[in-house]
Amino acid sequence: MIKVTDVAYARFRAPDLDKMEGFLKDFGLERSARTDNALYMRACGTSHHVHITELGEPAFVGMAFHAASEDDLHNLSGFAATASPKEIKEPGGGKRVQVTDPDGFLVEVVYGIEELEPITVRNSFRPNSGTAYERKGVFVRLEKGPIQCLRLGHVVIGVSNFKKSNDFYKSHFGFLDSDICYEGDENNIVLAFNRVNRGKDFVDHHTLLTAPTGKPELGHIAFEVEDINAIHLGHEHLQSKGYEHSWGVGRHILGAQIFDYWFDPYGNRVEHWTDGDLLNEDSPTGVHPYGARFSTQWGVTESSRR
């Protein structure tokens, strides 16, 4: 087993790269590279790309995670009885090991991909709350238009056999349970919010969620944005462009993120989120009935989710 450090990117296929790029720019990503057969989009962080679209029939192909070292790629290769690490012959370079999860999704573990200069974040203002004043002498003046995605935060997949998938991801990549949901008996675990294990360092509440949908499918991919201003500016911009909305704005209970979900032109659900919980190796695992999985603390309820 190795311990991956974060999600790297998600990989899709689509028949029209121009159409996908147009949506992703409106959603808050920027092009980092494009070939005749693939589109690579970045966020504001240093990652070369966080979203790949290959030319082809619409599909979610899989996801990639960062390894802590090249040695981990070799360790995973031996543990998973798969091919040795290979050079990535795509923009950004690096090395990777590729495995297939129990439902056939491609899982890549990568190391050494080129990093880019970060992009300056716009519309960033410290908040003033009723008990803590952090912005003094500065006026909030927000620029409308596409917001900026800071990074890819997590991937949610539907699986045909939860136990088999949960065992696969835990045993290969070292994920920890942040919250788990059960049906009936508390020992009948059917859903898990998985976070990476970086020891005492605090990390996102979840990097991967595996949900018992009875078939392999994408739930959504989620991008962190600056704050609640970005959530609402992004909502208004995407709405003005006529894109299809899915769910939001609201605040989850499990993970606590403020969220807003949309569909890309090929039916893939994508999320803007901000202000989620951060946990480390000492954080306890929450145990909840299955009905609590997508409950909200405020805002639009799950019943309106599309």
| DSSP letters for the chain | -----EEEEEEEEES-HHHHHHHHHHHT-EEEEE-SSEEEEE-SSSBS-SEEEEESSSEEEEEEEE-SSHHHHHHHHHHTT-PPPEE--STT--EEEEEE-TTS-EEEEEE---B-PPPPPSS----B-SS-B---S----PPPS-----EEEEEEEE-S-HHHHHHHHHHHH--EEEEEEESSSTT-EEEEEEE---TTS-EES-SEEEE--SS-EEEEEEEE-SSHHHHHHHHHHHHHTTPPEEEEEEEESSS--EEEEEE-TTS-EEEEEES--EE-TTSPPEEEEGGGTT-EEEES-GGG--
Residues of the chain with pLDDT > 70: what percent? Answer: 98
> Are 220 and 202 in contact, with CB atoms under 8 Å apart?
no
Residue whose C-alpha is closest to residue 186's, from 292, 91, 110: 292
The answer, yes or no, to whether residue 12 has pLDDT greater than 90, is yes
The 10s digit of each residue's pLDDT in 77-128 is: 988 778 889 999 999 999 999 999 999 999 999 999 999 999 999 999 999 9
pLDDT score of 303: 61
Q: How far apart (Å, rounded) are the C-alpha atoms in residues 118 and 138?
A: 24
Helix (H, G, I), strand (E, B) or coil at 31: strand
Q: What is the mean pLDDT of residues 265-276?
A: 98
Q: Which CATH architecture has domain 6-117+149-304?
A: Roll (3.10)
Those residues whose C-beta lies under 8 Å from the C-beta of residue 89, and which sit 6 or more positions away, are none
Q: How far apart (Å, rounded) are the C-alpha atoms in residues 220 and 226?
A: 19
pLDDT score of 83: 80
Helix (H, G, I), strand (E, B) or coil at 28: coil
Residue bearing tokens 């901000």: 274
The answer, yes or no, to whether residue 233 has pLDDT greater than 80, is yes
pLDDT score of 82: 84
φ and ψ of 266, to 5 deg:
-115, 20
Q: How far apart (Å, rounded) are the C-alpha atoms in residues 106 and 11?
A: 9
The 10s digit of each residue's pLDDT in 19-31 is: 999 999 999 999 9
Least confident piece of the model among 129-133, 139-143, 151-155, 299-303? 299-303
Can you give the C-alpha Rg of the chain in angstroms? 19
Helix 17-27 vs helix 228-240: angle between axes, to the nearest 10 degrees?
A: 140
> Are 103 and 165 in contact, with CB atoms under 8 Å apart?
yes
Q: Residue ranges of the domains in the chain?
A: 6-117+149-304
Q: End-to-end CA distance of the chain, in Å?
A: 37
Those residues whose C-beta lies under 8 Å from the C-beta of residue 122, and which sit 6 or more positions away, are 143, 148
